[in-house]
Structure formats: structure tokens, C-alpha cells
Structure 1
Amino acid sequence: MAMRKEAWPPWQTGTADDSLAMGRVPENHRQAIVKLLWVGMWMLYLASPVTDLLDGHHSPLALIAGWTGLVGFVTAYLTLVFLRTNQEHQPPWVPVTLAALCVLAVVLSLTLGDSWLVLFVYAAVAMGAAVPPVHSRWAIPLVTALLFGCGALIDAKDDLVLSLGIPCFLGGFAMLGIRQLILTMRELREARQTIAGLAATEERLRLARDLHDLLGHSLSLITLKSELAGRMLPGRPEDAAAQVADIERVSRQALVDVREAVSGYRRPTLAVELAGARAVLLAAGIEADLDPAQWAGHDRLGADEEGALAWALREAVTNVVRHSGAGRCAIAVTVTVADDADALALTVSDDGRGAEPGRGPGNGLTGLEERLLLAGGRFEASGSGADGGFVVRASVPLVEAVTPVGGGT
């Protein structure tokens, strides 16, 4: 299996994947060496049973049993530390290994003396590291009780038993806290990855909505003016040239708009879109019933809310030009009341053929509804207006008017 290249030393990196995580299987030789050095530092406390074996007061059979038991205990402990210490769900061999640690600690302490009571500290730490919290809360006190029980059976000194019992109890729960912290950090990393994925998805949706609205509007206007220019040739070359010049201008503006949309800086204004809507409708031969002067800016309309309403106007007018077959389009911007709060409402209606039976909303209207919802607004599309055509209604909230302090005095 290929190893990942890691920065060295691993604690100098800033990413969670490159750091030496406690309780995780080492991913390369460097992590294994660092982890072994870290664990080995705590293995120095096994000097007491090792010294007991080297003192020469045990029989050969006791020495063989002692060394075998100590090697087995250390092997089982390192297996837990290196392979499974912070996993949420443990395989069956983990409780078996933990039980073996406790059995070895009891047997070696009762047969070889009080120098081996230190093994209970390692057993308690292993319990806190590998046993789920719901079980380790009673397993750690149980191991501590075994330590005191064995100490009483072998007549160990009270100060020795107490000096081992305190780190046995506190060390086990300290490792339990570390294990919980590691699990929490893992959940936070997963949540952060999920949030990053959602942010990327939302950005793709934003870009798709912007490009759809921008290109749909611009390409519709280019198509109309191209058809006009084609009908004017060859009899009216000057008028055709004017239409071609308009096509060039619209194309250049569309390119600018796309670049701004990709950069995330574009936020259309309602006044500009009202003026543009009139030009597009007239170019399509549709009577435009609107008064751009009805919108002279509104000091209670936020920038995001105005942008959402402007996109709604652009998409609605584009649909009128492309799909309605209408001869007249009416656009109105009014202040209304929704949910006991003021709102600015946009209504775009035509006298065209209306919605096709059984056909749902297209991508443009769906994206428009999403955009308005993000701005706290509302969206409604109806296939039967007063003139028999299609009606789009969009509204966004207005901020509360601020009354000057001491006003009227």
C-alpha cells in the first residue's frame, strides 16, 4: 500500500490528516516511529516489574512465567494503542484483549509481588482509551478496585497501593476524556467537510442561476435584433447597421456581465433592469406598459433584496419575449404589506398564450424562486392573468423605517 508523503515532523503541519492523531493507525513509518517514542516514554513505569525480575530472587520457572506474562501484557497494550483506541465501534478482539490485560495484571501481581501492581494503571488507561464511555465509566473504577484488592491480598504497603490507585483511577478517566475529545474533533472535521461541500454546491447553483439569467436575457435580445437586421436587408442597410451595432453592444455587455457573475461581484439594480426591460420588449415588438420613473430608488430596500427583485424582472421579461407570444406586457412595482411588514412587490403580466397545460416551471423560474427565498422574499407564478396570459409576482421585505430621535420637535 502506498504511503502518503507527510511533512516532518508531523506536528508542524496544519492539516488534520498530516498530524499524528492519537488512537489512529499510523499511516507511514515516520508516524509509527513518533508514536512508538511517545508510547515508549510511558513504558518507563514498567521499570518496577523489570527490576523485580532482574533481582534474582525468583525461581527459574517464575522468571519464565514473569517474562512471558510481561511481554504478553506489553504486546496486548501496544496493540490497543496502535490499532484501536479512539474508534466508535470496536471489533470483538478488543474486549478480549482488555480482559487479558486485567487477568495478567491480577495473576502477575498475586504470584510475583507488589512490584507488579503498576500493570493495573496501564489496564485502566487502556479501558479509558478503547472502551465506549457508557462502559468505561464503570470499567475504570472496577480496575482500580482490583488494584486495591490485589494489594490487600499480597499485603502491599498502603502508601504504594495509594500511589498507584490514584493514577490508575485518574489516568483512566483522563484517557476517556481524551478519547471523547478525539471523537469530537473527528465529528468537527466531518462537519467542516460537509459545510465545505454544501458551500461549493451553493456556489455552483448561484453561478448556474446567474449565467442562465444573464445569457438567456442577452441571447434573446441578440436573436431578436439579428432577425430585425435580416428583415431590413437589403432594402434598409442603415437601419440594419444600427441593429448590428446594438448586437455588438449587447454582446460586449453580456461578456462583462458573465465575468462579473463568475467573480461574484454582480448585483443588478432595479432601475437599470426596468430600463432594459423596456428596450427588450420594444425590440421584440411587444408593447411595454411600464414607467421607469416609478422606481427612483428606495431607502428601505437592501442591496441583496434589490438584486433578487432585479433578477426576477429580468427572468420574467425574458420569458415574455421568448415564450409568451404576447402583444403587451405590464410591469408594476408597488409597496405592499405581507405578514404585517412592508414589502416591495414586482408584478409582470402579459396577454400571451399563458402556461402550457401539464408543464411545470422551468429552470429559470425555479432558480428565481430559490433566489427570492434566500433574500427572504416570496415568489408566485400563475398561468392565467387578467388578460389571459402569464403573471409573475415577486416580493422582498423592506427594512423598518427609523424614526429620528426627537423628531417633530
Structure 2
Amino acid sequence: MSWWQGLRCRMRHLQLARAAWKEDVRRFKEEQRAARKAGHLPETPGPPPTGFSLVPWLLMGLGSLSNLLKGETPNPWIGGVGLLAFNSLYVYVVFRAFDKEKRAARSTRVALVVMGVLTTALALGYGGNWLLFFPLLGLATGATVRGPSLGRVGLLLAAFAGAVSGYREGWNGINIAYATFLSTMVTAAILSLSEAVRELRAAREELARRAVEEERLRFSRDLHDLLGHTLSVIVVKSEAARRLAPRSMDAALSQITDIESVGRQALTEIREAVTGYREGSLSTELDRARSALTAAGIEPVVRRSGPPLTPQSEALLGWVVREAVTNAVRH
């Protein structure tokens, strides 16, 4: 790949990043307008920060550019190339810093190191306004370096910036050291906090989505168990009524009455299940199990003993009896 193709590729990446940033801003504004119409504040914290958030800080280099244009810098061609190289490396690093994979890539770290070497060379060679490149280096470092090593890196960078600035400007170098440390730590803190908030928000949305899915599955299982048992009882009693009708109409009518009772009970339970208030009862399920098994030609024997059960145990054992009887009648 030639240098021209590489430049076109970089420009294409910048255009895509700018388009994505514009889309995030547009979506945020739409959510703001919708929230104002609804009368409440939106939950979204706004568009995520991108490399464009750190590009305006390059205006700190206007003093160096002014020195070049006024001819106050010796070897202006070297200074101009250094200024262009620094700006290019800065843009390259800060745009990659907002992507976790690119931020941890070796190319990003190498570019940051080269940026540090270039900053040192320009600061030692020219001093003055060129020392302000150290705080810019701190911004790029804070955006790229995260985790436990950030504190050590920030202190080392600030100490090095203070030493170089002190060599050129004397005690005024303390200000450069302080600005470098502050820009490094504040940038890292703000970006880390922003990422943490968005990750927590995404995790909360995922938990809410899973909770909805689990509730749907629970309700579908609940409805399946309810209708499966009820329909099995209705089928068994209908077959019993059909067999008994030629011999004993009274017995057949008794089965039909049971079918009506089971159907009405099923309607009630379905309504309660839909509204979320249905509670199982072991005694009720045992009575229904006795009726269903008797209609299927099975003589059940039920013995009750022991202290009363808690409502939770009643509901749990009621479901066990319901499922067992449904499977026995069906199979």
C-alpha cells in the first residue's frame, strides 16, 4: 500500500467516525425532543465521546504555529514538520483510544511512544510555547492508558515533563508538569467513568430484557400446565360420558356436569393467571386429581396427616400433583 492509499484510508476512517458521531448526536437530540414532549427527562446520557471531543485541544499549539509564521523559530522547516507530525500522531492516537481493541493494539502504543519522543525533541529544541505539547501528550496518554498502570504512567510523564520544562524555562516548568499530570488523570477519569456508565446501562438493559423473556417463558409454562391438565380432564370425562350415555344417562349427565365445572374452573384460573394472581393449593389439586383419576378408571387413595403447610409449600406441591396427574391420565 502506497503512502497515498494509506492517507486515503485514514481519511475514510475519519469520515466514518464523523458520520457515526453525527448519527449519535442526531439520535440524542431526537430523544431529547421526545422526552420534552412527554414531560420527563430521557434516560440516555447523551452521545458517547469520540476522538472529536479531544481534537479542539490542538488549539493549544497555536502559539507554536504563530512562532513559525513570524519566523521566531530557528530551523522553521524542522519545526513545521515536527508540528505536522505531532498533530497527525495526536489525531491518530485519540481516535483509536475510543475503541477498546484499537486502544490496546501495539500500533497505538508505538504511536504514543513516538509522540512522546517527538514532544521531548520539540520541547528541548525550542522551549516556550512548544512546551505546551506535554499537556497534549497527557491528554492522549489519559485517553489511551487505563487501569492500575495509569497512576504510575501519569506521575512519570509529569515528572519527565517537569524536568524538560525546568531545563528550558527554570522553575516555570512546574506549571507544565502540573498541567501534564492534570490532563492525563482527568481525561482518563472522565472517559473511564463514561465507559463504566454506558456498560452499566447496557447491562441493566440486558437484565431487563432477560427478565421479560424469563417472565414470558414462565407464563407460557404456567399456561401450558394449566391448559394441559384441564383439557386432559375434559377429554377423559367426555370419553366417560360417551361410554356411559347408552347405559346410564344419569351417570353421563354427571360427567357432563363435571366437565362444565372443570371448564368454569379453568376459565377462572386462566383469568387469574393472566393477571398474575393465581396461587396453587394442594387441597384443591388433590380434589381435582381424585376426580380426574376416578373418571379415567383409576381409584386414588389419599391420606392426609401432619401440620398445615406454608402457602409456598402448598403452591409447590399443588403443581407437583397437577403435573403428575396430567401425565398419568395422558399416558
Deviation track 1:150-209 (CA, whole Å, cap 9, x = no partner) reads 22333x1423x1222112112212223334334433542453355335424532442243
- Other-structure match for 2:9: none
Q: Which has the higher contact order (CA 8 A, sep 6+)?
A: 2
Q: Give the partner amino acid of 1:128.
A: G
CA distance, structure 1, for counterparts of residue 89 and residue 257 of structure 2: 83
Q: Give the partner amino acid of 2:67.
A: D
Shift of 1:123: 0.8
CA distance, structure 2, for counterparts of residue 104 and residue 138 of structure 1: 21
% same residue: 35
- Other-structure match for 1:396: none
Matches within 5 A, 1:9-24: 9=29, 12=32, 14=42, 19-23=46-50
Shift of 1:144: 1.8
- Other-structure match for 1:397: none
Q: Give the partner amino acid of 1:304.
A: Q
CA distance, structure 1, for counterparts of residue 112 and residue 180 of structure 2: 15
Out of 311, 315, 318, the position equivalent to 1:310 is: 318
1:145 corresponds to 2:159: yes
CA distance, structure 2, for counterparts of residue 111 and residue 257 of structure 1: 85
Q: Give the partner amino acid of 2:322.
A: R
Deviation track 1:117-136 (CA, whole Å, cap 9, x = no partner) reads 11111112211211243443
- Other-structure match for 2:78: 65
CA distance, structure 1, for counterparts of residue 111 and residue 60 of structure 2: 21
Decide which structure has greater helix share.
2
Q: Give the partner amino acid of 2:133.
A: L
Distance 1:19 1:10, change over 3 A: farther
SS in 1 for 2:124: helix
Distance 1:270 1:8, change over 3 A: same
- Other-structure match for 2:118: 104
Q: Give the partner amino acid of 1:146.
A: F
Shift of 1:235: 4.3
Q: TM-score, normalised by structure 2?
A: 0.76
- Other-structure match for 1:130: 144
Q: Where does the alignment leave 5 or more consecutive residues of structure 2 unmatched?
A: 1-15, 36-41
CA distance, structure 2, for counterparts of residue 42 and residue 80 of structure 1: 14
Shift of 1:138: 3.0
Distance 1:8 1:20, change over 3 A: closer
Deviation track 1:328-350 (CA, whole Å, cap 9, x = no partner) reads xxxxxxxxxxxxxxxxxxxxxxx
Shift of 1:49: 2.1
1:47 corresponds to 2:74: no
CA distance, structure 2, for counterparts of residue 250 and residue 134 of structure 1: 66
- State the number of aligned residues: 302
Distance 1:138 1:272, change over 3 A: same
CA RMSD of aligned residues (A): 3.3
Q: Where does the alignment leave 5 or more consecutive residues of structure 1 unmatched?
A: 24-34, 324-409
- Other-structure match for 1:399: none
